[in-house]
Structure 1
Amino acid sequence: MSYKTVLVHVDKDKHAGERIKLAAQIAINEDAHLIGAAPSGVSRFIYQSRFIYEGGGMATHLDSHLEELRKQAKDALAGFENTVQRLGVSSFEARQLDDEAGGGISLQARYSDLVVIGQTDPDEPSSTTLPDFPEFVVMNSGRPVLIVPYVGNYNANARRVLIAWDASTSATRAVTSAIPILKRADNVDVVVFNADDRGDAHGEQPGADIGLYLARHGVKVNVVRQRTDIDVGNALLSIATDLGSDMLVMGGYGHSRFREILLGGVTRTVLQSMTVPILMSH
């Protein structure tokens, strides 16, 4: 298993450089093709429909606004190219998208093995992405998504990875998708919370089966079973701190109702309070 195409969201956000560097490191590790995608922030359906009133200069005003958004995307891609060339990525391309960020990145993700995006910074709202951008991409891309916190500096070569394992299909997809990263880690901890609450999903020894599965892939794995009376999201963040984890792998839970994303409690807590990169799959 390996990543052959890595997609990274590119914009003018001050945090973009960190996720570009992380995506570049993964591309170098995996000898993968790296795509930097910069959406304009305006839905492609506006470009396609062109339902514009010609009177009162409205068409001219909209065209001017769209052109400015395209220029910002182009400038962001120029920065992306400079960064990945400096870091030594051998195969890459810059792709400008006439679309809003959630829909555009989710569509491009379907032709990639891994998507790298950033956590929403509530103190620095973006002009081209909606606040629910990470959740939307996780729920709609059909691909594993690596979400990078807006605070801190991170390395793609995670030394100690924590897996949140509940034997669900979403967690299974996340673990399988993370194998290239897990194989490079010095240690992988698999945490199982409140195993008795999942009936027979875990088998006789909770965590043993997934531990054996990973060991066969050459992953150095340790299973941790815990009972917690607090919500699992905060318990997960707490144990990540206690273990010194520098990356988290977990399933993403929720569903979409029109544009609204209805997240599970654990997913919502972790996305809001994350302190390390999270590889998430729905």
Structure 2
Amino acid sequence: MNGLGTSAISTAAFADKSAASTDDMARTAVTVDAVRDILVHLDGSTQDLANLAHAEMIATVFSAHVRGVITHAIPAALVTLEPELERLSAAFWQNDAALFDKAEAQARQRLLLLGAGTDLLRIDGMSHELGRAVAQFARAVDLVIMGRPYGGSSRWPDLLESVLFDAGAPAFVVPPEASHPKDPDRILIGWRDTTECSHAIAAALPFLKNAERVFLVEVRETNSADPRASPPAADMARHLARHGIAIEVRSVANGTSPADGLLNEAALVGAELIVIGAYGRSRLREFLLGGVTRDLLTKSVVPLLMAH
């Protein structure tokens, strides 16, 4: 028992013995894939500091270029025949534009302090237009860094959905609590035998190869007492071992919800990054985040690396 409400855990370590005689030799023998191009979302809020801190950490580890994209949601126009209201509307627009000009200048200065190759894009548009614009740039990078969209206040959920589902880009989601990042030594993979999970693992390979310990955690669909990992989980563990990654497979009970099971396990093992597939359901040609995905995007205090 782990003391956090999950059932007994079965663990199995996997190593590709044909590749090297020790984990260290296997890790040295592998050429580490790298993140070379990062897009970090900014909006002039306090979340920018956490997003930029993670961008700096990742850029330092992988010698990556950082492109900031700062989005400005233009207020809707007020249509009125009253002269006084028209003057107030114009003053509001002018004040909003001035405030965002200041936010852009601050973002540009913060990017210059990162010490990596950087540039900044500014996108002004109506709220419903910004997702498509950001998705266009997200298609041409390795990773998009964004703030957590739920929990406390709702910030840019449509933007995250555009990055994941429209651009098909992996997203590195930063909780507001995670303001002091480090290269993650312990990584938890939330395993499901799905295309989305496989894509997330592939996107996370640069981080997985740098980690000291990686946990492949499968949440059982029922509260079955059988602690064994499924054959697909064992197959993925062997695949990662061939990349020189020392991995441990764990199977945990569903508990109150799959998301809570993963978050409890992340706390137990001290995970500094959670890798998870992003699941959605279509409605009128738009994607809406699925229940487990949304729960993690609401509750996780650990950064999430997600892909669809």
- Whether the 8 Å contact between 2:68 and 2:111 is mirrored in structure 1 is no
Q: Secondary structure at the match of 1:21?
A: helix
The code of the aligned residue for 2:37 comes to T
Q: Which residue of 1 aligns with 2:200?
A: 174
Letter in 2 for 1:34: V
1:223 & 1:203 partners in 2: Cα distance? Answer: 7
- Quote the residue 2:178 is aligned against: 152
Equivalent in the alignment of 1:114: 143
Deviates more, 1:188-197 or 1:228-237: 188-197
TM-superposition CA deviations, 1:82-110 (whole Å, max 9, x none) = 33333321x11011112344333222211
Alignment of 1:1-282 (within 5 A): 1-42=33-74, 68-89=95-116, 91-99=117-125, 100=127, 101-120=130-149, 123=152, 130-194=156-220, 205-257=231-283, 261-282=287-308
Distance 1:260 1:25, change over 3 A: same
Give the aligned residue type for 2:278. G
Q: What CA distance in whole angstroms lies between the structure 2 residues aligned with 1:215 and 1:23?
A: 28
Alpha-carbon distance in 2 for matches of 1:224, 1:7: 33
Contact residue 116 and residue 147 of structure 1 kept, 8 A: yes
Say if 2:187 and 2:272, in contact at 8 Å, map to a contact too: yes
Superposition deviation, residue 273 in structure 1: 0.6
DSSP-derived class of the 1:158 partner? coil
Q: Percent identity?
A: 29
Letter in 2 for 1:30: F
User: Alpha carbons of 1:77 and 1:195: their partners in 2 closer, same or farther (altered >3 Å)?
Assistant: same
TM-score (norm 2): 0.75
Relative to structure 1, is the Cα distance of residues 191 and 138 closer, same or farther in structure 2, using a 3 angstrom cutoff? same
Distance 1:37 1:30, change over 3 A: same
Quick one: which amino acid aligns to residue 39 of structure 2?
Answer: L
| Residue pair 1:163, 1:250 contacting (<8 A) in 2 also | yes
Q: Is the 8 A contact 1:21 1:84 kept in 2?
A: no
Q: What secondary structure does 1:98 align onto?
A: strand
Where 2:164 maps in the other structure, the secondary structure is helix
CA–CA separation in structure 2 for the residues paired with 1:28 and 1:63: 44
Q: Deviations over 1:186-244 (max 9, x none)?
A: 111111122799xxxx9963422211222222222111122334321111111111111
Partners of 1:6 and 1:104 in 2: CA distance: 16
Aligned length: 268
Amino acid aligned to 1:77: E
Q: What letter matches 1:2 in structure 2?
A: A
Structure label with greater radius of gyration:
2
In 1, the alpha carbon distance for the partners of 2:173 and 2:63 equals 21
Give the direction of change, closer, same or farther, for the CA distance of 1:107–1:73 in structure 2 (3 Å limit): farther
2:172 & 2:222 partners in 1: Cα distance?
30
Measure, in 2, the Cα distance between the counterparts of 1:6 and 1:210: 27
Give CA-to-partner distance per residue, 1:53-92, whole Å, 9 cap, x none.
8987899987876665554444333323333333321x11
Could you list the runs of 4 or more consecutive aligned residues of structure 1 that deviate by over 6 angstroms after TM superposition? 51-64
Classify 1:241/1:120 alpha carbon distance in 2 versus 1 (closer, same or farther; 3 Å). same
Shift of 1:111: 1.4
Q: Which moved more, 1:204-213 or 1:51-60?
A: 51-60
- CA separation in 2, counterparts of 1:83 and 1:143? 25
AA aligned to 1:187 is R
Q: 1:63 to 1:103 in 2, by over 3 A?
A: farther
Mapped contact 1:183–1:218 kept (Cα < 8 A):
yes
Change (3 A) 1:63 1:105: farther
Structure with the greater relative contact order (CA < 8 A, sep ≥ 6): 1 or 2? 2
Alpha-carbon spacing, 1:135–1:92, altered in 2? closer, same or farther (3 Å): same
Three-state SS of the structure 2 residue aligned to 1:208 is helix
Between the aligned partners of 1:264 and 1:56, the Cα distance in structure 2 is 45
Change (3 A) 1:218 1:79: farther
* Structure 2 unaligned regions, length at least 5: 1-32
